[in-house]
A = this chain, B = another copy of it.
Amino acid sequence: MAARKEMDPIGFVFLGTVTGIGGGTFRDLVLGAPVFWTQETAYLWTCIGASLVTFWAARLLASRLRALLWLDAVGLAMFAVGGTQKAALLGAPAVVCVLMGVMTATVGGLLRDIMAGSKPLLFHREIYATAAIAGAATYLGLRHAGLDEIVAALAGFAAAFGVRACAIAFGLSMPNYKQS
């Protein structure tokens, strides 16, 4: 059973790439912008490379999927702020910017969970959305308050990562990768 769950590198890289670009793809489609990775393939190669590194590095860890959980929290925070930034840059209203931040951060992970056949838990998803909203709102609020772009982005990152890290630490949102 556990052996069947072991993926080959191709499947793993595919899932990793979808996770990495899924949210941003959705954001660009909704905003009517050209999809970022069709313009600049460096994003694709980065995802492919990062997935391969994770695949081999994770062999050393107790569980490959556990390692992904933390990578995921970093990605969530980064994407929440990045998605909000891009929407703001394109002149979208504040509420649309926050929603784009949340979508950029959550859609990739959601697609991965669905494709990997693990059931996205209610609570799991909820904390995701809450963490992303915290990050997006912190960033936008500080920008409106006149703070520097970099400072606002870092504070937004910290807010999103903080909420998610608490959830992981308290075991609230461990995806049920054991079931199938």
User: Could you list which residues of chain A lie within 8 angstroms of chain B, going by C-beta atoms?
Assistant: 4-5, 7-8, 10-11, 14, 17, 25, 29-32, 34-35, 37-38, 41, 44-45, 92-93, 95-96, 99, 102, 110, 114-127, 129-130, 133, 180
Tell me which residues across on chain B come within 8 A of A114, comparing CB atoms. 110, 114, 120
* A interface majority secondary structure: helix
Q: Are B38 and A7 in contact (CB under 8 A)?
A: no
Tell me which residues across on chain B come within 8 A of A5, comparing CB atoms. 122-123
Q: Are A120 and B117 in contact (CB under 8 A)?
A: yes
Partner of A41, one of B96, B115, B123: B96
Q: Are A126 and B38 in contact (CB under 8 A)?
A: no
Tell me which residues across on chain B come within 8 A of A95, comparing CB atoms. 41, 44-45
Partner of A31, one of B38, B115, B122: B38
Report the Cα distance A99→B16, complex, angstroms.
Answer: 13
Q: Are A130 and B10 in contact (CB under 8 A)?
A: yes
Report the Cα distance A129→B116, complex, angstroms.
Answer: 12
Report the Cα distance A11→B30, complex, angstroms.
Answer: 22
Tell whether A119 pairs with B30 under 8 Å between CB atoms, given A10-B133, A96-B44, A126-B10: no
Q: Are B122 and A117 in contact (CB under 8 A)?
A: yes
Report the Cα distance A103→B31, complex, angstroms.
Answer: 20
Tell whether A32 pairs with B31 under 8 Å between CB atoms, given A14-B129, A117-B122, A130-B10: no
Tell whether A30 pairs with B41 under 8 Å between CB atoms, given A10-B130, A129-B14: no
